[in-house]
Structure 1
Amino acid sequence: MTDGARGRRDLLGRMRGNWRRNLFLLLFVLDLGVITLAVAAGFFARFAMAEASLDTVRSQGNLYLVVVPALILGWQASLLLNQAYNMEIIAIGTDEYRRVVRATFFTFGALAIVLVLLRWQVARGFLAVALPLGLVLLLIERLLVRRWVLARRRRAMLVDGVVVVGSPHEVRYVAEGIARNPAAGLVVRAVATDTTDAPTFELANGVVVPQAGAIADVVDAVHRYEASTIIVAGHNRINRKQLRELGWQLEDTTIRLALASRMTDVAGPRIHWHPIEGLPLMSVEMPRYSGVKYSLKRAFDLVIATGMVVLVAPILFAIAIAVRLDSPGPIFFRQTRVGVNGTLFKMTKFRSMAVDAEARLAGLERQNDGSGLLFKMKDDPRTTRVGAFIRRYSLDELPQLFDVIAGSMSLVGPRPPLPREVEAYDHHVHRRLNVKPGITGPWQVGGRSNLSWQESVRKDLYYVENWSLSGDLVIMFKTLRAVLARDGAY
């Protein structure tokens, strides 16, 4: 490759990578603005809202002239150090939010240590406002930016073009996974399978991509198809020597190299690298279903569920009256469901159907709009007038907050199944019962009744093995959006 050709190709790579720089600058500026706003709010809450005297302002003003800018800059630096601007995690999964939370608490922890060592007296009211307000605003800002990014990625903007390398089977598995997840910011431009049987390569979802031919020429293919990343889908068509030589070819370019693992449905926090000279080992932490992490989840459930019961008490009372006046029968509907480890419990909901709904189910089985083991019907004749409304906005599920407080359910978890559904489970589907069922969960925010049975199971199993408290918070935020949009609710 000539120096001129290499220079032109490097320029193309820099042009294609501009979206990363621009997105970094956007996030940086927005984060800085949000942090400044939160710190300023804490300052004014201390002096303005507290009606501090002019003498107090004068005596402590010089201290805050140091603390305020130091806190702003330190907070921003902590976001950088915690890699909250890593483009590989932006708008993907919950790791972005987790890093923002970690950076925030690190900042205030470091500030507290410095204040103690220097014996500076900073008002607790200042920190009590700045910390929670800043964290909430940062998370909301990141959520809004994520929605903006995802909207553009669905139109093939803000994406990296990739060339996938490997055997046809390996390439198809990786390419189809990329096509199913536009949020990842990757678009398959071509594949290289060392075959010349056909000029194109067809994926199962009907997408057709060019066949780049020889794996040895994959670097040229990256430039030819205006891609920026090479993904090695497996080792059947590329050995260690070829992989090492490929890495050498990329040293003076802006092209990125990624290796696809055969380990599927494993979240990032469970993956750990153990570098041994010449042999990078990837270990996967096996899921655990007890311990401190689950104690924290239980505490979180209790605090939030209790607070929500107090907050929505008037709504609960109003719905109870509406249900009683709308049709004869009890206010609540209690049904046996299967909980953690196969234990049975009575799940509580507002009654949304006629009292003889269970007896009429057999006659409606053929009209099932659900999939797999789930029975769902868009225009179910058993639904009452009030029931249709409260189901549309998931208000019928509010009494499940009492099930959470009692310990039978969690705020977030897999959908609570019926005993007859569990009896028909395949062996691997029983893993859904390793954790408590939830009022909301991946099924609720991923399409609800619009999901196929297989997709519903896959989402639940992924949650069971990879859940985190920050992930639960994200699902709760998404639940609010899904409920308001009435996505798949019937």
Structure 2
Amino acid sequence: MAVMEPRGREVDQLDAVVPLAGDTPVSRTSRPVFTTGRHVGPGSAEPDSLMRRYQRQALAGDFLASLAAGGLAAVARFGAPGAAYLVLTLSLPLLWVTIIAAQRGYERRFLGTGPEEYRRILQAGLVMFCVIAVVSYALRSEVARGYVFLAIPATLLLTLLSRRRLRTWIYRLRERGLALQRVLVVGRADVVVSVIEKLDREPQHGLVPVGACVPFVGVEVSHVHDVPVVGDPGRVLEAVADTGAHVVAVVSHPDLSGQALRRLSWALEERGVELIVSPGIIEVAGPRLSIRPVAGLSLLHLERPVASGGRMLGKMVFDRVGGILLTAAAAPVLLAVALGVRLTSRGPVFYRQVRVGAGGREFTMFKFRSMVVDADHRRAALMAISDGNGVLFKLRKDPRVTRFGGVLRRFSLDELPQLLNVVRGDMSLVGPRPPLPEEVAGYTADAARRLKVKPGLTGLWQVSGRSDLNWEESLRLDLRYTDNWSIALDVSILWRTLRAVVKGSGAY
């Protein structure tokens, strides 16, 4: 939890020892030194210039992606396209970047982090399809459907790949401590610690805490979770000057609300410093949040998680169709693995186990058998040496795993038969980890919320460390998915799963 130390230490004993300048990296253990009345630290040029470069490259990449997609579609559809389709192909990139801009796809707050950048690209693709259809109808000049159905998906795909390349570039810079915005966190110490922990845990968002303003109750402190305390919430502007902060994050402080927060926003605006306010709501995706202005107040509206209706029907169709297609595509692998299990150890090819699905309903889950036949009976004797996370039983070197089973587990091939559970409707392609009945029996009220959606063949737990996660982290990821699932998130997780399986990280 919080590391709150007495303020009596000298400045040269603080964790931050070297101020940043120019391209000097920012890191968790390299914070600016603070002394009263002295400004130490660089200006804001570096992250600003790099993000402007990101914007320019994003626009250029989108333009070239549409130009390439239109050219490929024209050649594939017509071989030698006529003048009309040549003009259309050259016009598509301008239309594409204009639509993305109208969807606010080049705003810096959406670039380089989170799913919103990709979501706006997908929305732009739908808008472009509609625009072409409407213009074609209005001009009574029907555009060849083959051209449209090639050009738009190819534009989307190439654009997403281009943005992914940019993400990789900016992530690598941030891992080196570059392109980071310095953040001053203001609020109660316990909440400030929580925010700092999250920002330090996920540096890809480009925010690094460099100072904290917390109220002093009884005893002053010098550090909060390894971040220097540079004052109380009453001296935010002085702390901004001391730290060279690009962003002020206000979290749960009653004295910084209403008119006081408004005045602070004006003062920060004059200094070119961003203001972000945490409402105290955790693990809620952006699409579920909206601002509802009422009587001059900006009220934060929180949409309820989707548990029924059209979107849930869409997920069911996505799961069933995707399950059938993946089963058909994986049929040769399924047959090869089944033959390998049969030839390398005695016992059945499949391992059947009762798991708990949505609403607490039990079902039989299928896996390729990767252990000896009497593995369940030998589990009790191994409980004392479990490498699990306190709730789940796991062993890094489980003596019950067969040699061939070890290979299957390394690449998650033993889980492929769960595609049959997806096709049957017991599971989803993406969802929380399917729990055992004895695990569910010990669930708290929070953990029981995992059962509001179907368990998944993969999920956030699969792409975030798998067996290396502790129980609290696994539960947090499952609850995040339960409350914020979407088809776009499912597609993203499926793509990340492929990479996690190839690397074999956290699998044993």
Q: Same fold (TM over 0.5)?
A: yes
What displacement does 1:182 show? 1.4
What displacement does 1:15 show? 5.0
What displacement does 1:229 show? 0.7
What displacement does 1:164 show? 1.1
Distance 2:160 2:264 in 1: 39
Contact 2:62 2:93 in 1 (8 A): no
Distance 1:190 1:76 in 2: 39
149-158 or 111-120, larger mean C-alpha shift? 149-158
Task: Give the one of 18, 21, 42 matched to 2:49.
Answer: 18
**Alignment partner, residue 95 of structure 2:** 74
What displacement does 1:287 show? 1.2
Contact 1:266 1:466 in 2 (8 A): yes
**Alignment partner, residue 442 of structure 1:** 460
Task: Give the one of 394, 397, 412 matched to 1:394.
Answer: 412
Contact 2:246 2:273 in 1 (8 A): yes
Q: Which residue identity lines up with residue 77 of structure 1 in the other structure? A: T
Aligned-partner SS, 1:187: strand
Contact 1:34 1:134 in 2 (8 A): yes
For structure 1, list consecutive stretches of 5 or more residues without a partner in the other structure. 1-7
Residue pairs, 1:467-482, within 5 angstroms: 467-482=485-500
Structure 1 residues 209, 346: CA separation in 2 closer, same or farther (over 3 Å shift)? same
**Alignment partner, residue 376 of structure 2:** 358
Distance 2:116 2:319 in 1: 21
For the pair 1:155 / 2:155, whether they are aligned, the reply is no
For the pair 1:341 / 2:359, whether they are aligned, the reply is yes
Distance 1:156 1:120 in 2: 54
TM-score by length of 1: 0.91
Residue pairs, 1:22-421, within 5 angstroms: 22-48=53-79, 57=81, 61-195=82-216, 198=220, 200-203=222-225, 208-421=226-439
Contact 1:167 1:236 in 2 (8 A): no
1:430-474 superposed Cα distances (whole Å, 9 cap, x missing partner): 110110000000110010000000000010011001001000000
For structure 2, list consecutive stretches of 5 or more residues without a partner in the other structure. 1-38
Q: CA RMSD in A?
A: 1.9
What displacement does 1:14 show? 4.7
**Alignment partner, residue 5 of structure 1:** none
Q: Which residue identity lines up with residue 392 of structure 1 in the other structure? A: R
Distance 1:177 1:86 in 2: 24
32-41 or 393-402, larger mean C-alpha shift? 32-41
**Alignment partner, residue 441 of structure 2:** 423
Q: Which residue identity lines up with residue 112 of structure 1 in the other structure? A: A
Structure 1 residues 388, 15: CA separation in 2 closer, same or farther (over 3 Å shift)? closer
Contact 1:198 1:211 in 2 (8 A): no
Q: Which residue identity lines up with residue 78 of structure 1 in the other structure? A: I
1:102-147 superposed Cα distances (whole Å, 9 cap, x missing partner): 1011111111110111011322221121122222222222223223
Distance 1:160 1:413 in 2: 33
Higher helix share: 1
Contact 2:64 2:93 in 1 (8 A): no
Distance 1:244 1:434 in 2: 40
Percent pairwise identity: 41
Distance 2:336 2:450 in 1: 34
Distance 2:189 2:449 in 1: 32
The structure, 1 or 2, with the larger RCO (C-alpha pairs under 8 Å, 6+ apart) is 2
Distance 1:315 1:330 in 2: 18
Contact 1:332 1:348 in 2 (8 A): yes
Contact 1:16 1:228 in 2 (8 A): no
21-30 or 353-362, larger mean C-alpha shift? 21-30
1:350-402 superposed Cα distances (whole Å, 9 cap, x missing partner): 11111111111111111111112111111111111111111100011111111
1:160-182 superposed Cα distances (whole Å, 9 cap, x missing partner): 11111123233223222222221
Contact 1:159 1:185 in 2 (8 A): yes
What displacement does 1:222 show? 1.8
Q: Which residue identity lines up with residue 380 of structure 1 in the other structure? A: D
128-137 or 370-379, larger mean C-alpha shift? 128-137
Structure 1 residues 325, 191: CA separation in 2 closer, same or farther (over 3 Å shift)? same
Aligned-partner SS, 1:191: strand
What displacement does 1:209 show? 2.0
What displacement does 1:148 show? 2.6
TM-score by length of 2: 0.88
Distance 2:214 2:492 in 1: 39
Aligned-partner SS, 1:349: strand
Distance 1:401 1:69 in 2: 43
Contact 1:167 1:237 in 2 (8 A): no
Distance 1:389 1:189 in 2: 45
Distance 1:378 1:251 in 2: 53
Contact 1:166 1:235 in 2 (8 A): yes
Aligned-partner SS, 1:489: coil
